[in-house]
Structure 1
Amino acid sequence: MARNNRVVIPESRTMLKQMKYEIAAEFGLYGANYGGGADTEFASELGALGDSGSSNHSPYLGHLSSRDNGSVGGEITKRLVKQAEQALFL
């Protein structure tokens, strides 16, 4: 079965990537790699590490479990649904 993961609005890619790193930082998933923990204040900087696409700038995240990564994706979905619901009822 083919997967359809294309981004409908390309401009949203940056916002989604930043949201991913902010949520991961909130969950404490970067503590081991970044010297004592990353705060959400610095999550955009974590996201900037992987923006260039080159492997020498992106952090190695192989220590994260599928469950941890899935929890970040689930939280992104919850927040996006909440934002959409709020926009509908304004």
Structure 2
Amino acid sequence: MRRRHHFHTDHLGHSVSATVQTGHTVVVEVLVDGKETGHATTRRDVPVTVTVELPTDPPTRATVQAAAGPGAPLCHFEAPDTGPRAMDPRPY
């Protein structure tokens, strides 16, 4: 059964959202300021890292690491000026 889980954080004035769609193949989509900037697929329990760029001057590279299981999915955001931090789950 496929299910979508949503996560969000703000960094340097930019919105970073991730959607993790669980199932046999896990699909991770990352949006920065509402625009899709990265996606990846993986197997059920294998964590995946998606690299994105924040539209700063100069652009800031960041990563979103998603783990689909076991249990509820988790997402962590990491940028060069900050350590990894958990992204907040969203109920929609």
Instruction: Report if TM-score (shorter chain) is over 0.5.
Output: no
Compute the TM-score of the two structures, normalised by the length of structure 1: 0.29
Query: More strand per residue: 1 or 2?
Result: 2
Structure whose CA Rg is larger: 1
Compute the TM-score of the two structures, normalised by the length of structure 2: 0.28
